[in-house]
Amino acid sequence: MAALSAATLKRRKEFQETTEELRNKGIWYRWGYPTKLLITKNGGLKIIHTPEEGLKQLREWGLLTGSPKKAGPAERLTPEWRQISNKST
């Protein structure tokens, strides 16, 4: 497998909501060049060029309901820290 550029990996990540839903529904897809989704469904091939187009297609197929997730900053989890005394009594 050829190494992918950081820009290509970043662009593919933008399709994450679509690809997760496709995997959850057992629908086969592969990546086209440079960054397209090639979706095989019911014997046909659908080429998706943008993340928005992918979500729209999922809605048209009845596989996605509701509004798309808003892209925002990644959630950062902060551990809860407590001071523990090492003093023995």
Q: Is the pTM of this model over 0.75?
A: no
Please give the residue that has the higher pLDDT: either 80 or 59.
59
Three-state DSSP at 80 gives coil
DSSP 2: P
Three-state DSSP at 79 gives coil
The model's pLDDT over 26-65, given as tens digits with 9 standing for 90+, comes to 999 999 988 899 999 988 999 999 999 999 999 999 988 6
